[in-house]
Structure 1
Amino acid sequence: MIPRSNGSLYTHTENNIATIEFGHDASNSFPSILLTRLAKAFDELSENPSVYVIILKSEGDRAFCAGASFDELTVISNIEEGKHFFSGFANVINAMRTCKKPILGRIQGKTVGGGVGLASACDYCLATETASIKLSELSIGIGPFVIEPVVSRKIGRAAFETLTWDASQWKNAYWAKEKGLYARVFETLSELDKEIQLFAEKIASYNPKATQQMKKVSWQGTEHWQELLIERAIISGELALSEFTKNGLEKFKK
């Protein structure tokens, strides 16, 4: 049995629709082992001929994702550990962009840092009014370097820079919709669940060869991300070792 401290991840497939649901007690944040499992799940579903579309969701009705594990971040002690830690989201983003199946994001609540990267790596996101977003990395001494390419691709560089420099400010779901992160925003969770199921069924009814080709066309020009995102992980890993960041993390913990 996988310890609950490592989070949970379940995959279910019905009527050509696969659902990946992840969870963690700390606001659905991601320890490294859970990120590894998520990347593997996308790789496996990509090659599964019975899957036509994927829904990505998290547990509960509050936070969608609080980003990477804060507990793991605070104990990074060398460059190799830093690179490994920040490569977690890099590997998931690369698995999502190379996945042959369209990915629908169900964003039911607040999302921070790497969680914004996950939403941006989805091909189409539906959200609730409570699905505010924030990139808080600069406020603790690092930066959203790994997720920058995928967030900038989705919402544009100007909007990315607004999120990055306003590291302590939440942007609401309608701001995220205006910038292109969310396609639609709903007042209630029940509305979101109804609509994302209907939309997934619609996508699943399309020619799977056509949707796979559409996915490939949509992500053209990102082939170099396999190397780029790891390079960005090294930058973040080095910053995590700085005294400034360590002091910032201690203040944040207190």
Structure 2
Amino acid sequence: MSKSFVKLDVEGAVGTLTFYTPEHNALPIAILTDLEQQIIKADAHADLKVLVIKSGGDRTFCAGASFKELIAIENETQGKGFFMGFAKVILAMRASRLLTIVRVQGKAVGGGVGLAAAADYCLASQYAAIKLSEISIGIGPFVIGPAVTRKIGVSAFSQMTINAQEFYSAEWAKEKGLYAEVLNSEDLDAAVDKLANELATYNPEALMECKKMFWSGSEGWKELLEDRATTSGKLVLSEFTRNKLKSYA
């Protein structure tokens, strides 16, 4: 695969949303926007009860924000707009009536951890180590913070944030509550399909009420994530962060 894409496939009551970029599934604003819109589209599909979100490729689920686009940000408006891309995806996952399963087949960094945390149920392979590297480049995991903290708690979130160069194993992520199950790579897809198809046979009204219950307490996230995006949009323009990003170019 050489070109980025986002696609939604529908089979019965299960939708599968796949994203891919050649840069280890790092996410530019165009892909983030497509992800948000496809989640909204799936939610409006009358036949669907379950949405599976996954990425293409083998060993990297998502490398987080696109460094190319971070480097290109020229002002606070652009900066906020970029980070709102992640906020809008998380908010779309939260607002969807569909139970959402995220399949994490490989490493997840930064925003990729946020996508996993915004799942209603997350299945991962043994290669799905996680890292929050944001503070090491002069910003922080502000936008994804509420979603990640909701799943793994403040203590584990702060540990990951501070130890920004360290990958934490898939088993650690399961122990902390991010992953529901960690499987061998060859068993992952079968487990995702089995769970999605089983959920698709359940009462849709019960599924929706369960989702509301799961997300109780997140009612103020729209304003919170916008504030966090503003903070990130300012910090990405700092001299420290600009120099760090250029060193990776």
* TM-score normalized with structure 2 length: 0.98
Q: Mark the runs of 5 or more structure 2 residues left unpaired by the alignment.
A: none
Measure the CA separation in 2 of the matches of 1:128 and 1:5: 24
Shift of 1:11: 0.6
Quote the offset at 1:7 in angstroms: 2.1
1:184 aligns with one of 181, 186, 191: 181
Is the CA contact (8 Å cut-off) linking 1:140 and 1:252 kept in structure 2?
no
Check if 1:132 corresponds to 2:129: yes
Instruction: Tell me which of 101, 106, 117 is aligned to 2:103.
Output: 106
Aligned residue among 217, 225, 228 for 1:229: 225
**In 2, are the aligned partners of 1:56 and 1:104 still within 8 Å (CA)?**
yes
C-alpha displacement of 1:44: 1.5
- Aligned residue pairs total 249
Q: Distance in 1 between matches of 2:68 and 2:248?
A: 12
Work out the CA distance in 1 between the residues paired with 2:225 and 2:72: 22
1:97 to 83, 86, 94: 94
1:78 matched residue in structure 2: 75
Match of residue 206 from structure 2:
210
Q: What TM-score do the two structures reach when normalised by structure 1?
A: 0.96
Give the Cα–Cα distance (whole angstroms) in 1 for the partners of residues 70 and 148 of structure 2: 22
Contact 2:3 2:22 in 1 (8 A): no
Aligned with residue 240 of structure 1, among 236, 240, 246:
236
Q: Distance in 2 between matches of 1:139 and 1:250?
A: 13
CA distance in 1, matches of 2:162, 2:197: 39
SS in 2 for 1:12: strand
Measure the CA separation in 2 of the matches of 1:89 and 1:250: 22
User: Which secondary structure state, in structure 2, belongs to the residue aligned with residue 125 of structure 1?
Assistant: strand
Residue-by-residue CA offset, 1:195-230 (whole Å, 9 max, x unaligned): 110011111011011001110111111111111101
